[in-house]
Chains A and B, each alone.
Chain A
Amino acid sequence: MAMVAELAPPPPPATVRPAAGGSAIELRGLTKRYGDEAVVNDIAVSIAPGEFFSLLGPSGSGKTTTLMMLAGFVRPDGGGILVDGADIAAVPPQKRGFGMVFQNYAIFPHLNVFENVAFPLRARHWAKDVIGERVNWALDLVRLGRFADRDARQLSGGQQQRVALARAIVFHPHVVLMDEPLGALDKNLRFEMQVEIKEIQQRLGMTVLYVTHDQEEAMSMSDRIAIMNHGRIDQVGPPGEIYERPANPFVGRFLGEANMIEGTVTPELGEVARLRLPSGQELRAPRENSCDAGPGMLFIRPERVEIAPGTAVSADPSANALAGTVHRCSFLGKILRYSVDLDGAAPITVDLQNAAGVTPLPVGARVVMRWPVADSLILSGDE
């Protein structure tokens, strides 16, 4: 490989320039059935050029099937896929021009690192010197420049991951599909790769469709996330929005710890919606479209709840407050996680930063929990 670099004429800078952005992708009513079951059920989403878009969901939610339909390996039973406005239904996988990173990397075991990365260029019959130049560019980008001659099977999992990534971007695709690319890596390496993938994506400006079941991964990398469940998209939005304002209890629980306090939404109107607990106490939340009277639940993240010893529940109009008893306190390192028994209701989880001066509350202590009405959200009861 070093020889190629030496023999090649000085590279014209134009060819090493990063790809000119990404493509817009639109899924229109995309559906896939296996037998009677719709594994992907009428999903519709628009992805902007250069967007990092994640499909997040539990296994069996249809996210990988959706990706495979985009890649062209699974034929949709309904709906369409538009790339920059053109329907690609009839385009075979090899003509779609997407980069793809597979869950198991799918490194070609009989080829060395250089040849693995050169594969998409050779398949396109590029000129030899351009191939050498471009492969070295891609290997440098994933910091594998020194490994070009290495046998692909001698690489560690993380290095194989990088080869797969380099191979997927070496031909400057406008769209890169990634199917749980970091699933097989250990936690620290996974975080490192998240940062790298994100940086490369921003540098090259390509559109990334990323499939994962790891909510932290999706939140840390994505511009927007689509939460999938039972073949449907439950909610689409930026990580902050779907984390703070989940559309339903499933989304709320899937993205992390969540309290769902059950009760009845009262029928009175106004800017503030009220949820009456079985105990008779009332909790408040900003009125949004899901505040129809009837059974409902109040959603609040554990880290938004303050906890203090005492029994006096003050009547602050901007905060909800409930009294309870500490049932358990788990030490999780940077946070202390309390489970607080309410009198006659499901326990509430409260996360407290393990900051300086924090001393754990003893089990059995009477406490008051308080959180802003603005952070509360009323969700309808049926999932």
Chain B
Amino acid sequence: MTVATLRPALHVASRAPRDRTLLLMVPAWAMLIVMFLVPLTLFFVRTFMEFDGTTAEFIGQAQDLLFSQPYLTALGTTNWIALIVTVTVLLIGYPIAYYLTTAKGIGVRIVVLSIVLPYFTSIIVRTFSWMVLLGEHGLVNEALLAAGLIGHPLPLMYNRLGVLIGMSYVLLPYMVLTLYAAMRAIDPSLMRAASSLGATGFYAFWRVYFPLSLHGVVSGGLIVYILSIGFFITPALMGGQHDIMIAMLIDRALEVAVDWPSAALMSLTLLVVTMVLYAIYYRITDIRRLIGAR
């Protein structure tokens, strides 16, 4: 260290700017800590501290809650709805994203606008819009009745169908944008190469395009699934009494039963599931980078 060589000087020079750029993250970290981590920790700590009883009693009650029928039903419903929404959104979103990557001109702009604009609109506004459309006297039923296609209004809302429609609509942009990013990275000359080598359109899609878009499918699917399992507003407004999702159960524990420990416990399980899924998602995007995708 006493001898001034070039090497340590270079080392310091290359490290200094990186340290300073990290400072840019401080406001974001501060916000995350103050507004998310601290309240979350306090919430859990307080609710568990307020529990008066032994640890064994606490574990027993926690087991009772987590294996109770309402909780298990809500857990099943939540995952089932999340799964169906994810598949629905994938099936609708994949062709849209494909169209966006291949087409040019005014059509693309219209589609992008209609995908992105709702993304910036309040979820409550969007859910109420669907209620106007799907209600018993909503536009869809009125139109079908007027056309003479149905004799009675169809039950489009306050049931599972309403939840699925509403959630799929809200979550579609996440899927489309994720898929679009993945598809943009696919070299278009690969599809040309495939067809020049004798592949039909379907074969080229199935053997070349789809495998290359797969990580986008998985990423988009995980994002939509993660967001789905925490959904509250849409199922609360558009669902029926059999469509209780975990977030709604938590809300009831807080608002109706004023049972904070139960709410905290359910929140914790939801958080853990979300973190696990997020870890998978992170691994996949990480692998994607490793294999050199743009």
Q: Which residues of A contact B (CB under 8 A)?
A: 71-73, 92-100, 102, 104, 106, 108-110, 119-120, 122-124, 153, 167-168, 171, 177
Min distance, Cβ B264 to any Cβ of chain A, angstroms: 45
B196 in contact (CB, < 8 A): yes
7 nearest A-B residue pairs (beta carbon): A106-B193, A100-B196, A120-B197, A123-B199, A123-B198, A94-B195, A93-B195
Are B199 and A100 in contact (CB-based, < 8 A)?
no
- Write out, one digit per residue, whether chain B residues 258-294 have a CB within 8 A of any chain A CB (1) or not (0): 0000000000000000000000000000000001110
B137 in contact (CB, < 8 A): no
Residue of B nearest to A168 (CB): B197
Interchain CB contact (< 8 A) of B207 among A93, A119, A171: A119
Bound-state CA distance A122–B194 (Å) is 11
Interchain CB contact (< 8 A) of B189 among A102, A110, A171: A102
Are B189 and A98 in contact (CB-based, < 8 A)?
no
B190 in contact (CB, < 8 A): yes
Bound-state CA distance A250–B198 (Å) is 39
Min distance, Cβ A367 to any Cβ of chain B, angstroms: 53
B208 in contact (CB, < 8 A): yes
Q: If the complex has contacts A102-B189, A106-B189, are A94 and B200 also in contact, measured as CB distance less than 8 A?
A: yes
Interchain CB contact (< 8 A) of B190 among A99, A106, A171: A106
Q: Which of B194, B198, B203, B204 has the most CB of A within 10 A?
A: B198
List residues of chain A with CB within 8 A of the CB of B212: 109-110
Min distance, Cβ B133 to any Cβ of chain A, angstroms: 42
Are B208 and A108 in contact (CB-based, < 8 A)?
yes
B192 in contact (CB, < 8 A): yes
Are A106 and B195 in contact (CB-based, < 8 A)?
no
Min distance, Cβ B216 to any Cβ of chain A, angstroms: 13
Q: If the complex has contacts A102-B189, A106-B189, A110-B212, are A119 and B291 also in contact, measured as CB distance less than 8 A?
A: no
Min distance, Cβ A111 to any Cβ of chain B, angstroms: 8
- The tally of residues in B whose CB lies under 8 Å from a CB in A reads 22
Are B196 and A119 in contact (CB-based, < 8 A)?
no
Residue of B nearest to A153 (CB): B292
Are B187 and A123 in contact (CB-based, < 8 A)?
no
B211 in contact (CB, < 8 A): yes
Residue of A nearest to B192 (CB): A73
Q: Which residues of B contact A (CB under 8 A)?
A: 187, 189-190, 192-201, 203-204, 207-208, 211-212, 291-293
Interchain CB contact (< 8 A) of A94 among B189, B190, B198, B207: B198
List residues of chain B with CB within 8 A of the CB of A108: 190, 193-194, 208
Min distance, Cβ A180 to any Cβ of chain B, angstroms: 13
Q: If the complex has contacts A94-B200, A124-B198, are A153 and B291 also in contact, measured as CB distance less than 8 A?
A: yes
Enumerate 23 A-B pairs (CB-CB under 8 Å) in ascending A order: A71-B192, A73-B192, A73-B196, A94-B195, A94-B199, A94-B204, A97-B198, A100-B196, A100-B197, A106-B190, A106-B192, A108-B208, A109-B190, A109-B292, A109-B293, A120-B197, A120-B199, A123-B194, A123-B198, A124-B198, A153-B291, A168-B197, A171-B198
Bound-state CA distance A178–B232 (Å) is 58
Are A94 and B196 in contact (CB-based, < 8 A)?
yes
Are A106 and B187 in contact (CB-based, < 8 A)?
yes
Residue of A nearest to B191 (CB): A106
Are B197 and A123 in contact (CB-based, < 8 A)?
yes
Bound-state CA distance A317–B184 (Å) is 68
Residue of B nearest to A119 (CB): B197
Interchain CB contact (< 8 A) of A120 among B198, B200, B211: B198
Are A123 and B192 in contact (CB-based, < 8 A)?
no
Min distance, Cβ B188 to any Cβ of chain A, angstroms: 9
Interchain CB contact (< 8 A) of B199 among A71, A119, A153: A119
List residues of chain B with CB within 8 A of the CB of A72: 196
Bound-state CA distance A71–B187 (Å) is 18
List residues of chain A with CB within 8 A of the CB of B195: 92-94
List residues of chain B with CB within 8 A of the CB of A106: 187, 189-190, 192-193
Residue of B nearest to A71 (CB): B196
List residues of chain A with CB within 8 A of the CB of B207: 119, 122-123
Residue of A nearest to B200 (CB): A94
Bound-state CA distance A106–B204 (Å) is 13
List residues of chain A with CB within 8 A of the CB of B291: 109, 153
Min distance, Cβ B263 to any Cβ of chain A, angstroms: 46
Are A102 and B197 in contact (CB-based, < 8 A)?
no
Residue of B nearest to A121 (CB): B198
Bound-state CA distance A124–B94 (Å) is 27
List residues of chain B with CB within 8 A of the CB of A171: 197-198
List residues of chain B with CB within 8 A of the CB of A168: 197
List residues of chain A with CB within 8 A of the CB of B201: 94
List residues of chain A with CB within 8 A of the CB of B203: 123
Min distance, Cβ A142 to any Cβ of chain B, angstroms: 16
List residues of chain A with CB within 8 A of the CB of B197: 94, 99-100, 119-120, 123, 167-168, 171
